Amino acid sequence: MRYKWKQMVRIVFLASSLFAGFAPTLSSAPILAQSTGRGIDPALLAKANAGDANSQLLIGVAYVNGDGTAQDYAQAATWFRKAASQGDAAAQTILGELYAQGHGVAQDNTQAANWYRKAAEQGNTEAQYNLGLLYQDGSGVPQDLVQSAQWIRKAAEQKFAWAQECLGLIYQKGQGVPQDFAQAAIWYRRAAEQGNAAAQFLLSGLYMNGQGVPQDYLQTEIWSRKAAEQGHAGAQSILGVLYENGYGVTLDYAQAAAWYRRAAEQGVAEAQFSLGMLYYNGRGVPRDYSQAAVWFRKAAEHGDAKAQHNLGVLYFEGKGVPRDREQATEWERKATGRSNATAQPAAPNSQDQGLYGEPPVYAQIRADLARKEQERPARELNALTTQNELDRQKAIQQYHSLLGSLQGDPTPEQQAQLDRLRSIIDLGYNDPANEKERVIEDSTKTKAGPETPVSTTVTNSSKLEGSEPIPINLGALSTKDHGDPEDYTQAAVSYRKAAEQGDVTAQYSLAVLYYKGEGIPQNYSEAYFWFSLAAVGARGQNRENVAAARDAAAAKLTPDELLKSQQRAAGWFAAHRAKP
């Protein structure tokens, strides 16, 4: 039955609620001989034997909770049946729950539905909700989504939070009612405001996706945090996404890692994968390929295709795990769904998997986000590669090191050296024939988030047969070891000096740093300005790539900010063209 995990606590919940006003007719006086070992209060027992339904109910509660007597569900069922037969709605509801779970009686959903209905018709909210769930699943009654929605609505209108959450999900999925995201948001909010963590999580998803409510990452953060702080694994994972990408919060990789870890430790495959990526890239945590492998493996064992792929690459390269071509091939085969290592790979369909252990609606949230990502006009920005990547990276380092050391205009010898290094750097820009290397897959390609930040492609020395390069967010920076960042702050200083002298590569690289907030404070206006300058000076396909990055930065700006940045760029061009 759906929401079975909730039902496991309902008997005790119902029983204990009786003393908190759940059943208004019950006396609040101490009527059980609790913790004395004397058994059920004799006076209470006498009244129950005389046919008093209220006393019969209370004795049933005592046997459920083990108050004043040993816990005994069979005895509890006997006394609840006596009270239920006299029309006591609370006893009917609990008896229905005993039948639903098979405690003290043989499990029987038909009997459960029968007793739930008797209580539901008297207005008992728990019974109405539970009867709605039985209709939803076709357990003990014929499946009827319309009847399910009607009974759950009756409970929701009485402010029963679980029913409100469930009714929101019914509207979101259109089960027994027309699909209506606005109604879903209304009911999620009512449950969320009562502290229901699942409703808070689902409401945050609507705000993230702009369904039934305006898209609002701040509201996404507010509601996902409320659920996350209650231990909701899906919400913890979403909060990690927000911090990793700077949606509704200040970009903070350390916070992203902390929230991903909480979700990952609860078995959420998406969070395990994302935490592995942070360890791989050294973002928010020290770079640690062994830890990356640990978390990729956990996600991979849950069937996450991205993690399976990445774990295969680590085995191929011997990063964090012993180099093992057979293991690499096996994990790549699992990731692509191939029956053997030479078959053509199938595109991983990770969007359909959803979060491990989460409601199916989360998969829909993620799928909708992926669709929105595909509709974005701005393409990802790819780094420029050459036939000899190591030589090019070395040339970049030497080029910007030389620029940074200049005290004034370069001497003829220095200018000749700069020209030689520049020719090496420019030689193989964006040559598709040279993109032969294998890279780790970046989590920003698939995680639940409304858009993918600008990223760049770097390459390393391994390739799994039949696979294609996949982007990784590292940035076009002064690098070593196949493109890993050395010192973003120093790189920013060097890039700025060269960028101000009109160097296109430095303008582009400085823009990337501003866009990502690496080495310098994140500033989309500055990113747009420097991307604009670089786009004018770039050639061929490079110009299209840089223009796409410029447009991505523009999308982050308000109309007023965009106009000011455009005017600034126009002023820069006018000033530099006027120079002799």
pLDDT above 50 (res 303): yes
pLDDT at 406: 65
pLDDT above 50 (res 410): yes
Beta partners for residue 484, in sequence order: 480
pLDDT above 60 (res 459): no
pLDDT above 60 (res 537): yes
Q: Which residue has the tokens 């919940």?
A: 13
Q: How far apart are the first and last CA of the chain?
A: 79
Contacts of 498 (CB under 8 A, 6+ apart): 400, 403, 505, 506
pTM beyond 0.85: no
Range from 118-122, 219-223, 554-558 carrying the lowest mean pLDDT: 554-558
pLDDT at 11: 44
Of 522, 490, 496, 525, which Cα lies nearest the Cα of 509? 496
| Helices 161-173, 125-137: inter-axial angle, 10-degree rounding | 30
pLDDT at 155: 95
Residue type, 376: R
Between residues 163 and 7, which one has the greater pLDDT?
163
Of 201, 206, 210, which Cα lies nearest the Cα of 233? 201
Where in the chain are all domains bearing CATH 1.25.40.10?
Answer: 195-375
> Whole-number mean pLDDT of the chain?
74
pLDDT at 53: 93
Structure tokens that stand for 291 in this block: 């830890």
Contacts of 311 (CB under 8 A, 6+ apart): 293, 296, 297, 300, 321, 331
Q: Which residue has the tokens 């160097």?
A: 503
Q: Which CATH class is domain 195-375?
A: mainly alpha
pLDDT at 363: 44
Structure tokens that stand for 356 in this block: 């491990």
Between residues 576 and 21, which one has the greater pLDDT?
576
CA 60 – CA 94 distance, rounded (Å): 9
Phi, psi of 484 (to 5 degrees): -70, 140
Number of residues assigned to the chain: 580
Of 231, 9, 230, 216, which Cα lies nearest the Cα of 103? 9
> Is residue 253 within 8 Å of residue 244, measured between CB atoms?
yes
Contacts of 544 (CB under 8 A, 6+ apart): none
Of 210, 243, 246, which Cα lies nearest the Cα of 228? 243
> Is residue 243 within 8 Å of residue 252, measured between CB atoms?
yes
- pLDDT band, very low/low/confident/very high, at 346 (cuts 50, 70, 90): very low
Structure tokens that stand for 47 in this block: 């009244």
